[in-house]
Amino acid sequence: MDKLRTIAGSIASSGRRISGILVAQPANAAGEASAQPAEPEAAPTNAPADPKAAEPNAGGEGKKRKEHAQTSKERREYARKRIMVRNQERKQEEEEKQPGDRPERTEPRLPKRKVALMLGFCGTDYQGMQVNPNARTIEGELFKAMCAAGAVSADNSTDQSKVNLQRAARTDKGVHAAGQVVSLKMIIEDPEIVQKINAHLPDQIRVWGYTRVMRSFNSKTMCDSRVYEYLLPTYVFMPPSEECARIADTVDFAERSLPETSDEELREKRAFRASPELLQYVRDAFGVYKGTHDFRNFTVTKGCTANNSKRFIHHFSVSDPMVIQGSEWLSLKVKGQSFMLHQIRKMVGLIILMARSNVPLKLIDILFGSARVNVPKAPGLGLLLEAPMFDGYNRRTSLQKEGTNGQVSFEPYRKEIDAFRQKYIYDNIVNTEVSERVFDEWVKHTEVYPEQYRYINKDCVIPESTIVVPGVSQPRPGGTAGNQSADSDSEVDNDDN
């Protein structure tokens, strides 16, 4: 307060006020100068007629008024001091409040930097990537860990939109990722921030690292393409089961149920090995997807039109067979600019059913842009996001001054990613299939309830009964009614497989 009195005294002693002209007053008894506004003198009733008589004395009152008239600079200086005094008073009043009357910052304010955060995860037991209320998601676990590690401040911990968190690709329930990128504004002052984030994450979610990026970077919109891998056992290509066909032909739809797989059938499936002719058929079939096509039949019905269903596929490759725990598996890899909801799983599901009956490949071309039918959706268990690609952004940053923005690439973490993928993704897929027979159950389901897949025939003719009509309900397994596509309640969205 002493400081405020000093400032206020200096203003008062100047003898000036913005609202009027002040004149210097003689010192009072205390020796203090008095500054009061000059009162205009009342005109005397007997004022002389001579105008000169009414003029102030050249050496008296008029001279004082002229000496003390404020200049523009003085008025600005006075206003500046008044503002400073008010600010000081407000600040002191705030400091004098009780601690409980104002929020206290429990941590220093640290700068946030725009980064591309690279991570991988096993999606088993998670309801997908994107945060969802009352659901266990990868994004929810990641954000909690970042807040606990100090990568996100307490002020921003209640809403991830405050740090502009955006993912390069969404993943569906149970889908995995060896490489995923999220962009956000993150506190990176701590050189061990990655290790601290991982310490708060479960083992099946790992952060590989981060790189500084330009402020306009958005991991979804700046992603050029995405690479997905799908792992599946080759026994899914075996010819249809006679028992399942019998159930489909003789039992009412509402009364059907899946038959149990005997131990002998299970051993036969695990011992199955794909022939060179079958492998060539599968490779040729997935090759048909290459290029730009209308994939309206490979996503959900709602929200999908000819205007938003075209996608470009760079390539779709099939690996050589590999034997894992006694069963033969194939690795499928597809690279595309973007993918619609469930698109990859439906692309795989169609080829599986076509290969089982050796259907001509021209059926795929017929389904591009044809009447809407329900394409089977392969299990999510075998799907994983290999990596989102940022080739265009990386070319731009390579032309910038070194040290400004880094390349968004997984190559520095390749060794850790490969080890994680083998332990937490590949092994998980194989062990889950062995224990739960996910692919076996899926194949039997398509055989016991084949009505909606009758278009998969050697004549490549689409029966009218298999055409999906919006708003028309059809029987579904269990005797319930609903749209033929089980996905029809969902919206079309990019990169959610």
The residues assigned a catalytic role are: 172
CA 433 to each of CA 289, 338, 439: distance values in angstroms, whole numbers, following the listed order: 27, 28, 7
Handedness of CA 377, 378, 379, 383 (dihedral sign): negative
End-to-end CA distance of the chain: 66
Handedness of CA 293, 217, 107, 208 (dihedral sign): positive
Separation of alpha carbons 282 and 450, rounded Å: 21
Separation of alpha carbons 194 and 142, rounded Å: 12
- Phi, psi torsion values for 283, nearest 5 degrees: -65, -40
Exposure string for 212-247, b = 16+ CB within 10 A, e = fewer: bbeeebebbebbebbbbbbbbbbbbbbebbebbeeb
Helix, strand, or coil (residue 78): helix
Which of 376, 350, 358 has the alpha carbon at shortest distance from 286? 350
Helix, strand, or coil (residue 96): coil
Which of 55, 490, 78 has the alpha carbon at shortest distance from 299? 490
Q: Strand ranges (DSSP E) for 187-254?
A: 205-212, 225-233
Q: Tokens 């400032």 belong to which residue?
A: 7
Separation of alpha carbons 463 and 469, rounded Å: 13
Are 4 and 85 contacting, i.e. CB atoms less than 8 angstroms apart? yes
Are 433 and 381 contacting, i.e. CB atoms less than 8 angstroms apart? yes
CB count within 10 Å of CB 438 equals 18
Which of 384, 407, 313 has the alpha carbon at shortest distance from 169? 384
Are 438 and 379 contacting, i.e. CB atoms less than 8 angstroms apart? yes
DSSP 47: -
- β-bridge partners, 417: none
DSSP 15: T
